[in-house]
């Protein structure tokens, strides 16, 4: 008998294939609606991550922790 993690992976692939088959059975308009929903849901966490990065960058800038200069100057600074 195969190890349990291989059985789990096989079941996940089978489930995924079933999901894809179900999506393909939908009318084209429903497929497009599903795609739009997935894109929106996948984009939400990324937007949140970007907002967090912007907030941190503003704090770093205000605290003076931002390096300004050319790429060569930045590399030189990192090599010190």
Residue 15, Ramachandran bin (φ over 0: left; ψ between -120 and 50: alpha; else beta): alpha
Query: Cα–Cα distance between 51 and 59 in angstroms, integer?
Result: 12
- This model's pTM is above 0.75: no
Q: What is the mean pLDDT of residues 3-12?
A: 68
Top-confidence residue, 58 or 43: 58
* pLDDT higher at 80 or 27: 27
Q: Provide the mean pLDDT of the chain.
A: 87
- Determine the number of helices (DSSP H) and then strands (DSSP E) in the chain: 3, 0
């Amino acid at each position: 008998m195969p190890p349990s993690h291989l059985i789990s992976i096989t079941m996940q692939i089978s489930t995924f294939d079933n999901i894809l088959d179900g999506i393909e059975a939908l009318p084209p308009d429903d497929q497009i609606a599903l795609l739009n929903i997935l894109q929106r849901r996948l984009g939400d966490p990324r937007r949140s991550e970007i907002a967090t990065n912007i907030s941190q960058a503003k704090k770093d800038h205000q605290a003076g922790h931002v390096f300004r200069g050319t790429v060569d100057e930045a590399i030189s600074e990192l090599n010190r």
